[in-house]
Structure 1
Amino acid sequence: MSRSKSAAPTDRTPVRRRIRGLDADERSAQRRRQLLAAATELFARQSYSLTSIEQICQHAYVGTKGFYDHFDSKEACYTALLEQITTGIQQRVAEAAAEVAGRDWPTQRAAIIAAFVHAIADDPRLAKVTFGEAGGISPAVEAQRRRNRRWAAEFMKHQWLQANTTDAPSLLPLALATIGGMFELIADWLHHHDDGGAPDSVETLITDLNHFVAIVDAGRAATAPRTPD
């Protein structure tokens, strides 16, 4: 009498192939990082308009198909890069604000501005990509820039309120105007380098921005409604 052999259990889950220790998802993420790193280098070195998708792919050692697996266009690649840089800046600024929370406003202001400048200027390519290339690329990129400014203005308004500044309907517009002025100072600092002027240091930019915001703060204090005695 023969015994029937029970079939050995099988795992029908497909085995994920690993190449150089990476599975498909990890390789895809690596290609995306390579493409964004290449875009950073090329946009900063030779401008957005003079950089082609093929150049980005060649610099990243990624095929054109790999590019389109992640981005629909060069504009989409730039927008993703801008978002990546912006996230890093926001994180560093928020961390700096948390470290000096509860201290006097001039101390907080100096720490936040220093963190912001170092986030964009320690690697000059980041400043060039975010402030030197973003203008006029497309409506989608302009919308992203506006969102970035809005976030920065909301962040500044929050810091003013944390420093016991009286809230007012004009506080957010003033913050937006202040951020616009700060961004213009950064753009001027950046273009001064590109035009062959004597290079100003990062510390000079920090000082200039601190001086500018201090003047805005003085104006706010001078025009704030006075509390009756």
Structure 2
Amino acid sequence: MSRSTPAAPTDRTPVRRRIRGLDADERSAQRRRQLLTAATELFARQSYSLTSIEQICQHAYVGTKGFYDHFESKEACYTALLVQISTGIQQRVTEVALETADSDWPTRRAAVVAAFVHAIADDPRLAKVTFGEAGGISPAVEAQRRVNRRWSAEFLKHQWLQDGSPDDPALLPLALATIGGMFELVADWLHHHDDGGAPDSVDTLVADLQHFVTIVDAGRAAIR
């Protein structure tokens, strides 16, 4: 009896289907970007509380299922957006601090404060999303805001140490208070716009923050 020849092995590795030049992972990442962009626009324009998941999906041209593939709730979407914006701010001020590392502290301070302001205020939507309504959304969002504030305080403390401050236990609480004051000045700048006041320029906000941190630096000398 003749034996049949075994079939040649075949490569059963699934082919990654590409649509418009993107594979599944790339399409998923694109949908996530579209959702976050839409959320930025809507949260800034009409607030977090008045924005629905359905509106975000319609604005992003992404189905509701696509939304839940990335975020379990509107709160999770907002938190992801807050992380994205904060990461961009942190990268920008870190780059400027490195670029001016050989400068004296007043020069470095001016550059870092200006970088911070332009990172959030050149596109006013970012400032509104980050410093506008964020404080009253949820405990999870507040926890993320505290993470961001702590990072900023640690960053400022490091800059002060480079300026010759001793690593005193009081330095981090002072940095936290300074960052809190800076964030409050940004929030006040935003509310002034929203309340119909005469619009202050970005340069005005830069000058106000510079003045505030300069005053803090004068007091910081007391713990040297």
Question: Which residue number in structure 1 is paired with residue 10 of structure 2?
Answer: 10
Per-residue displacement from partner, 1:113-164 (whole Å, max 9, x unpaired)? 0110010000000000000021110000000001100000000000000111
In structure 2, C-alpha distance between the alignment counterparts of 1:152 and 1:78, rounded to whole Å? 20
Which residue type is aligned with residue 127 of structure 2?
A
Shift of 1:103: 1.0
Per-residue displacement from partner, 1:62-88 (whole Å, max 9, x unpaired)? 000000000000000000000000000
In structure 2, C-alpha distance between the alignment counterparts of 1:180 and 1:52, rounded to whole Å? 30
Which residue type is aligned with residue 31 of structure 2?
R
Question: Which residue number in structure 1 is paired with residue 82 of structure 2?
Answer: 82
Unaligned regions of 5+ residues in structure 2, if any?
Answer: none
Question: Which residue number in structure 2 is paired with residue 196 of structure 1?
Answer: 196
Which residue type is aligned with residue 25 of structure 1?
D
In structure 2, C-alpha distance between the alignment counterparts of 1:79 and 1:3, rounded to whole Å? 65
Which residue type is aligned with residue 17 of structure 1?
R
Question: Which residue number in structure 1 is paired with residue 223 of structure 2?
Answer: 224
Shift of 1:4: 7.1
In structure 2, C-alpha distance between the alignment counterparts of 1:82 and 1:224, rounded to whole Å? 34
Question: Which residue number in structure 2 is paired with residue 132 of structure 1?
Answer: 132
Aligned: 1:208 with 2:204: no
Question: Which residue number in structure 1 is paired with residue 186 of structure 2?
Answer: 186
Identity of aligned residues (%): 85
Shift of 1:110: 0.3
Question: Which residue number in structure 2 is paired with residue 151 of structure 1?
Answer: 151
TM-score (norm 2): 0.96
Shift of 1:169: 1.0
In structure 2, C-alpha distance between the alignment counterparts of 1:126 and 1:30, rounded to whole Å? 20
Question: Which residue number in structure 2 is paired with residue 35 of structure 1?
Answer: 35
